[in-house]
C-alpha cells in the first residue's frame, strides 16, 4: 500500500481473500484530492457483516440493503425497504437534534419522476409523494 498522497491505483488496495475465492477490499481514493475517501467493498457479490460479541449486528446484503438485527430482508406492506431493523425487544429509531435554536429533528420524504439518482423531474398531479404505513402481525405480507 502506498503512502498518503498517492493516486488510488491497485497498489493502494488492502485485500483479504477467503478460502472459496471471495475477497474484501479496502481502497484509498486519490488522497491528494479535495475530498479523499476510503472504499470498502466486495467485488464478488459477498455480503458485508459487522458484529460484536460474536453476534451479527449490521449486514449489507448483495441487494445493498442495510439489515440490523436480521440476516434476511422481508416484505412489509408490499415493499422491501433499503434499511430494515428487527429485534425481539425494543425496536426504535431515535433522532436527536442538539442546537441552540428553535429547530427540531426532521424526517423528509421526497419523490421525483426522474429515472436516475440525483434527478429532480417534476411530479404529476395525482402522484403519491410520500407514505407512512403501519402493519400488524398476521396480515398478508405483514
Instruction: Please tell me what DSSP assigns to residue 17.
Output: E
Please give the C-alpha separations between residue 51 and each of 29, 57, 59, 67, 71, in angstroms, as whole numbers.
Answer: 26, 4, 9, 12, 12
CA 85 to chain centroid: 12
DSSP 3-state helix, strand, coil percentages of the chain (rounded to 5)?
0, 25, 75
- Tens digit of each residue's pLDDT (9 = 90 or more) over 107-138: 888 899 999 888 889 999 999 998 888 777 77
CA gap 77, 47 in Å, rounded: 25
- Tens digit of each residue's pLDDT (9 = 90 or more) over 10-61: 556 677 776 666 677 777 766 666 766 777 778 777 888 888 888 889 999 9
CB distance 22 to 37 below 8 Å:
no
Return the closest-CA partner of residue 122 out of 131, 110, 132: 110
* pTM value surpassing 0.75: no
Amino acid at each position: 500500500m502506498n503512502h498518503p498522497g498517492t493516486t488510488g491505483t491497485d497498489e493502494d488496495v488492502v485485500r483479504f481473500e477467503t478460502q472459496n475465492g471471495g475477497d474484501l477490499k479496502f481502497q484509498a481514493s486519490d488522497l491528494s484530492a479535495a475530498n479523499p475517501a476510503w472504499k470498502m467493498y466486495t467485488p464478488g457479490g459477498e455480503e458485508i457483516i459487522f458484529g460484536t460479541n460474536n453476534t451479527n449486528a449490521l449486514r449489507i446484503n448483495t441487494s445493498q440493503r442495510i439489515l440490523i438485527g436480521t440476516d434476511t430482508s422481508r416484505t412489509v406492506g408490499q415493499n422491501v425497504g433499503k434499511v430494515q431493523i428487527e429485534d425481539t425487544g425494543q425496536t426504535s429509531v431515535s433522532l436527536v437534534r442538539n442546537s441552540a435554536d428553535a429547530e427540531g429533528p426532521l424526517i423528509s420524504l421526497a419523490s421525483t419522476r426522474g429515472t436516475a439518482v440525483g434527478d429532480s423531474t417534476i411530479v404529476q398531479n395525482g402522484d403519491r409523494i410520500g407514505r407512512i404505513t403501519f402493519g400488524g402481525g398476521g396480515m398478508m405480507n405483514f
